Each structure stands twice: as C-alpha cells, then as structure tokens.
Amino acid sequence: MIKGKRLVVILPAYNAAKTLKRTYDEIPFDIVDDVVLVDDKSIDNTSEVAREIGIKHVIRHEQNRGYGGNQKTCYNKALELDADIVVMLHPDYQYTPKLIESMASVIANGVYPCVIGSRILGKGALKGGMPIYKYIANRFLTLSQNILMNQKLSEYHTGYRMFSADVLRAINYNINSDDFVFDNQMLAQIFYEGFEIAEVTCPTKYFDEASSINIQRSMKYGFGVLGTSWLYFFNKIGLAKSKMFHSKENPV
C-alpha cells in the first residue's frame, strides 16, 4: 500500500502476449496490492501468459467488447476489490510502469484525485516514435477540447491514467462507448463533476508489438472526440441534457 491506500493496476489487454511480461515485471509490487487483466478475446495466448507470470485476477471476455468495453470490466473489478486508487496501464509496454509510485503519491496525498501520464509534456511523443500524423492530430484535437471544455490539459489521448475510487464512483462510465472514444468520454465526465486532473511527463514507445489503430479508426475516434467535447460544451451552457453527464446511476 501507499500511505494506507489500496492500489490496483488494471491491464486492458488484446493480443498482448509478447509484451505482457515486460510490462508486468516493471510494476512496483512494494506498493501495488492487486493486478487485474481483462483479455478482450485475444487471438493469441494473452490469458495463459497472464496466469503463468502470476496475475491472480484474469478475466477473459467470451465476445470482443472493444477497448471501452474492456475498461469497464477492468474498473468494475478493481472497485469490487476495494481499490482506493486504480491505475489503468496498457500491457503493450508503450508506457512505463516505473511512474506508478510517483503518480499514485499525488492521489494518495490528496493533491489531485486523477493523474494522467502525458506524452506531450516534454518531448516524449516524437522522441518515442509517435507518427507525425498522430502527433498533429493529437495537438489539433487537444486544442479543440481545451477550448470547448475550458480546460488546459496537454493531451486527452494518453492511455496511462490513474483515478481515486471516489472519482470512479462519482461518474457513470458504464454508459460510455465500448470503442476508443471511451477514454475521452470518461475525462469529460470527470471534468463535468468538478474534479481536477494532474499530468506528469511520460515517455512512450512505438514499436511493432505496441498496440495502435489504423487511420480509418483514428478518424472515427477523432470525430467521436469532437462530438464528446461539443456535447460537454452544450451541456455546460444548458442547451442540451446528455445522459452521459447527468445520470447518477452506476451499477458498480
């Protein structure tokens, strides 16, 4: 535990067999209490590798539910395990688990209830091999989101996130999309409820085994991000009433 807080790492996995052990081996188990891996019906042996390396909580979806659907199962299980702090970490080794202790201390000490690892602060994104078109899209989308949502994040698209359990219980993430836009809907919900989000500089790695989406899926994601931001904007000025931002029901 870190300062008496129960820390649970969640790993939303899809075809992560080749990179899972490298990720797992860098997790600081002196402060991490549990690890949850959800295998979204991988076509490789991700679940088997997870059990072999010692992950106690391995859940395999019988049907592929998508990136967002995977995370829902992850967060629900973490809360079921009475987590105080939940770390969402990709098992493709794109983000280093070595930052977990630093990020968790921010939440454990009551400084911020949420922390994300930013690839844009510093020079982590391009240095780590982020394709230039993704970098440009990231900057455009982030600028648009900050304007529409009246925030100042350096990026909204990182897959390295950490939340207090209070935040997860305050938002209804289970009604969000099962696709990649889930991440942005979740951040919008968090801001809508009045929580603040801290950022830390995070290096990243782009290589063949690291997960990535193609240009077509990226375009769909981009339009979804803008749609979420506009919905947030209209809700804030009272011109719309989205269930995403107003429903308090949470089946967890």
Say if CB 105 and CB 192 are below 8 A apart.
Answer: no
Q: Which residue has the higher pLDDT, 219 or 193?
A: 193
Domains and CATH numbers, the chain: 7-245 (3.90.550.10)
Write down the pLDDT at residue 252.
46
Q: What is the pLDDT of residue 251?
A: 47
Q: Which residue has the tokens 């990226």?
A: 218
pLDDT tens, residue by residue, 219-239:
899 999 999 999 999 999 988
Collapsed DSSP state (helix, strand, coil) of residue 206? coil
pLDDT of residue 215: 74
**Number of helices and strands in the chain (H, E):** 10, 7
Interval 125-152 mean pLDDT: 88
pLDDT more than 90, % of the chain: 79
- pLDDT at residue 247 greater than cutoff 80: no
Convert the pLDDT of each residue in 1-22 to its tens digit. Answer: 687 899 999 999 999 999 999 9
H helical segments located in 1-159? 20-25, 46-52, 66-80, 100-108, 124-127, 132-149
Confidence band of 192 (pLDDT split at 50, 70, 90): very high
Instruction: Give the single-character DSSP code of 4.
Output: T
Range with the poorest average pLDDT among 88-92, 116-120, 212-216, 235-239: 212-216
**What is the band of 154 on the pLDDT scale with cuts at 50, 70, 90?**
very high
Exposure pattern of 182-203 as b/e (b: 16+ CB <10 Å)?
Answer: bbbbbbbbbbbeebebbbbebb
pLDDT digits (tens, 9 = 90+) for 62-106: 999 999 999 999 999 999 999 999 999 999 999 999 999 999 999
Residue 60 pLDDT more than 90? Answer: yes
| CA 169 – CA 186 distance, rounded (Å) | 12
